[in-house]
Amino acid sequence: MSTSTTATSTFTLQKYSRSYPTSAGSEWQHFTNPTIRLVLDARNASGGDLESVRLRIIWTMDNGDPMDTTAGNQVLFEDLDLLSFSSLPFRQHQRQSQGLPLKAVYRGLVVGIRYLHPREYSANPTYRRFQITFTSAASVSQFINAIRTVCPCKANPAPAHGPVEPSLQSSSTLRPTLPPSSVALSQAPYLHQYPSAPAFNNPDLTFTASQTKIYRQEAPQSSQDTPLHVLSSSPVFPSLLPPIVLNGANSPLPTSTPPAPKTAESQSSMNSATHPSIVPTSAPIADPAPSQPTSSSAIKDAVLLSLRETTGLYDLPRSDLERLVSNIIREDGFSHLLTTLSTMWKVKSYLG
């Protein structure tokens, strides 16, 4: 006398959807409430051979008594012996052109199963499809491992999303308009019917979302915190950006500097007062006497000191005179200085 052992696994489902082909086309039906359970019975012979793998999806009416499991309070959605599909006779060309009689795909908490119905190959075979949504990823993994030996299972990866480009606009939150969730929240049984859709070619396996937020990168509040490469490469009004000065002493002045007054010292102070610049926080801002003079400022101080000590310009040392002339020629206001000197010479000639 042979004996057998049955191992039963029970899973609670959040949602059950099915699509049965009919003469008028196929439509998806969705069931969410009351409680829906998946029962998987694996029966093994005494020798260890697998005899059957029975899958049942039961819709239990909630009547307030969880111990009451009478037939009148239960609806049997699916009752399949998964092992029986592996014994169906079919030819190799039928397998390649029409597909397997039983297969499953899964992604996230959703598992989709397609099976041949009726269980015989013909010129135009028909398939039934259903999708089940589990409550946790661990339940999905346990279910897939239990049926993998009798049902080919394949993971369906999520569609790739392109990178979100950062935005320099002010703080904004994009809230897309989403359709209301099809999951019913009441305790009464609900049946939702939607237009037909393929179960395994559709990239989202009946995924529904209630709230989705996409946050864009917020623009910085101050220009000192903004990386310089972002400001220089930003297409948002580049002509309105102030000139960027990395080091006020070593970098040349912008080409948009207004004409300089008669002396180089007053010109330097006017440029620092009229043109806003992005300067590192550690550098002094518009300070006529910097605490750490650089090589350029040291040369100017030496020239001015020489002018105060020497009564005549031609009495300056040749090296100081060359540095003074080279600094004046590089200034943007040099042409204006020449015009001023020309006017002064004309006035002097008139006065004798």
Chain segment 41-92, per-residue pLDDT in tens: 999 998 888 999 999 999 987 655 555 555 558 899 999 999 998 877 654 4
Chain segment 291-341, per-residue pLDDT in tens: 555 566 777 777 677 666 655 666 778 888 778 777 777 777 777 777 887
Chain segment 208-256, per-residue pLDDT in tens: 333 334 333 344 444 444 444 444 344 444 444 444 444 444 444 444 4
Q: How confident is the model at residue 189 (pLDDT cuts 50, 70, 90)?
A: very low
CB-based burial of residue 57 (10 Å sphere; 0-12 exposed, 13-18 middle, 19+ buried)? Answer: buried
Q: In terms of DSSP bridges, do strands 110-116 and 127-134 run parallel, antiparallel, or are they unpaired? A: antiparallel
Q: Which residues, 6 or more positions from 17, have their beta carbon under 8 angstroms from its beta carbon?
A: 28, 29, 30, 31, 130, 131, 132, 206
Q: Is the pLDDT of residue 155 over 80?
A: yes
Domain spans of the chain, in order of start: 4-157+171-215, 243-281+289-351
Q: What CA–CA distance (Å, rounded) separates 218 from 215?
A: 8
Name the nearest CA neighbour of 174 among 219, 220, 212, 221.
212
Query: What is the torsional sign of CA 202, 203, 207, 210?
Result: negative
CATH T-level fold of 4-157+171-215: PH-domain like (2.30.29)
Q: Rounded mean pLDDT of 140-169?
A: 79
Q: Which residue has the higher pLDDT, 75 or 342?
A: 75
Give the pLDDT score at 209: 37
Q: Is the pLDDT of residue 167 over 50?
A: no
Give the pLDDT score at 338: 78
Q: Write out the DSSP string of 269-309.
A: HHHHHHS--B--TTS-SS-SS-SS--HHHHHHHHHHHHHHH
Long-range contacts of range 153-160, CB-CB < 8 Å, 24 or more positions apart? Answer: 153/103, 153/104, 153/105, 153/106, 154/103, 154/104, 154/105, 154/106, 155/105, 155/106, 155/107, 156/105, 156/106, 156/107, 156/112, 156/200, 156/205, 157/107, 158/107, 158/108, 159/203, 159/204
The helix (run of H) or strand (run of E) holding residue 71 is: none
